[in-house]
């Protein structure tokens, strides 16, 4: 079980660091669950953020997507 999350990165921050677009990362992250390290905040200012575990999972998804596109 995962607990004690000590940091998260917003989707905007993560995409800026990787040089990706928010739309592309959102499309990859849409099927991720909380257990995968994604945090979905809803309301007027909805936010998507990733724990360190989520970032690793998302990087794996990005790599799989790149390989599929080849």
pLDDT in tens, 7-43: 889 999 999 998 999 999 999 999 899 999 999 887 7
- Split at pLDDT 50, 70, 90, the class of 2 is low
The span from the CA of 70 to the CA of 56, in Å, is 22
pTM: 0.81
Give helix 22-29 / helix 52-69 axis angle, nearest 10°: 100
Which three-class secondary structure state does DSSP give residue 24?
A: helix
- Split at pLDDT 50, 70, 90, the class of 47 is confident
Q: How many residues does the structure list for the chain?
A: 70
Which residues does 29 contact at the CB level (< 8 Å), separation at least 6?
A: 11, 38, 48, 50, 58, 61
- Split at pLDDT 50, 70, 90, the class of 4 is confident
């Amino acid at each position: 079980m995962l607990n004690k999350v000590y940091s998260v990165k917003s989707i905007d921050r993560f995409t800026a660091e990787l040089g990706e677009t928010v739309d592309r990362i959102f499309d990859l992250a849409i099927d991720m669950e909380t257990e995968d390290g994604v945090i979905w905040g809803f309301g007027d200012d909805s936010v998507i953020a990733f724990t360190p575990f989520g970032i690793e999972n998302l990087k794996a998804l990005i790599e799989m997507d790149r390989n599929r596109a080849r």
